[in-house]
Amino acid sequence: MSRKKFDELVPVFTAAYHQIQEERLQKKEIKKRPRGGPQGVLSDPEKRLFFILYYLKTYPTFDVLGFHFDLSAGHAHDAVEASLPILKRGLENLNVFPIRTLDNVKNFNQVIEKYDEIIIDGLEVPCVRPSDNERQEDRYSGKKKRHTIKALAISDQNKRIIYLSQIFGGRTHDYTMMKNAFDPEKPWFFQVTLRADLGFLGADKDYGCLADIRLPHKKPRKSKNNPSPELTQEQKNENRAHASLRIAVEHAIGGMKRFHCLTHRIRNQSASMIDHFFGLSAGLWNFSIA
């Protein structure tokens, strides 16, 4: 993040901090706003913003994070948990945080009404092997014998992430995530063109003939009648054109993965913190290209 972008984010982060403090005061979670007394190393909102961005970017252990900011590991953990919702609120106030839940088709159409075309793809992030047997089975991807966490991302042609689903275990297929997030029985994608890869094969049929879902051509299966199956030159050209338009979502996901919390193996076991990693990485990417 450039210094200019950081300076733009400081007042937004500060305002979000005061909003959350005011809400806590009204809910009687705290009796009064903190005033006076000894000032901590993260007392200034600018320092707290740098602290949480540094954590998301480098993803150190809490021991290392505390060492860099003159905190104990426990205090570093508490500061991270307190700062993540503040950053999320600030990005929501800037209207760069992606939609995470869709209540109904009408709300979805309102979100995408200004787009002619959107692109969908799966995002997969490595994680440590869970000790819980049920969670371990859910997150075992089978690829390279590793455990992963996945989510579904939708972007526009300008690489802005419009929608990011809730997290799934690594064993969940991309198309299964899509069907969980977008019920095929409802009229999704009737007002916009949706582009996808072959990981979503069958979506053009399952979502109805009126849904405008575009997939690349699949190479035919080998058979006795067709021992050397090949796509026609026209189909190959159409696949290249489709890939050149679909590449925007790959770049958007790559932008999210500039933050090491989504490239290094996720060590955290808290579902809410992992969810923040996905959402904030997308929001900060949208903010950087805004």
Q: What pLDDT was estimated at residue 227?
A: 80
Domain contains 216: yes
Domain contains 76: yes
Is residue 138 located within the same domain as residue 238? yes
Tell me, what amino acid is at 81? E
Is residue 66 located within the same domain as residue 119? no
Is residue 274 located within the same domain as residue 158? yes
Is residue 168 located within the same domain as residue 62? no
Structural domain boundaries enclosing 37: 3-93
Domain contains 99: no
| Confidence band, pLDDT 50/70/90 cuts, at residue 53 | very high
Domain contains 221: yes
Given 93, 118, 140, which residue is the final one in a domain? 93
Is residue 80 located within the same domain as residue 23? yes
Is residue 221 located within the same domain as residue 253? yes
The pTM assigned to this predicted structure is 0.90
Average pLDDT over the chain, rounded to an integer:
90
pLDDT at 37 over 70: no
Is residue 261 located within the same domain as residue 145? yes
**Residue 133 dihedral angles phi and psi, to the nearest 5°:** -60, -40
CA angle 78, 84, 89 (to 5 degrees): 140
pLDDT in tens, 173-189: 999 999 999 999 888 88
Q: What pLDDT was estimated at residue 36?
A: 63
* Contact assessment for residue 69 and residue 41, using Cβ atoms and an 8 Å cutoff: yes
Domain count of the chain?
2
**DSSP secondary structure code for residue 263 in this structure:** T
Is residue 84 located within the same domain as residue 130? no
Domain contains 166: yes
Given 43, 64, 93, which residue is the final one in a domain? 93
Q: How far apart are the C-alpha atoms of 211 and 206, rounded to whole Å? A: 9
Pick left, alpha or beta for residue 280 (phi over 0 → left; psi -120 to 50 → alpha; otherwise beta): alpha
- Reported as type and span, the H/E element at residue 213 is strand 213-214
Is residue 72 located within the same domain as residue 110? no
Is residue 83 located within the same domain as residue 202? no
Q: What pLDDT was estimated at residue 38?
A: 67
Q: In the chain, what percentage of residues exceed pLDDT 90?
A: 66
Is residue 203 located within the same domain as residue 63? no
Is residue 88 located within the same domain as residue 119? no
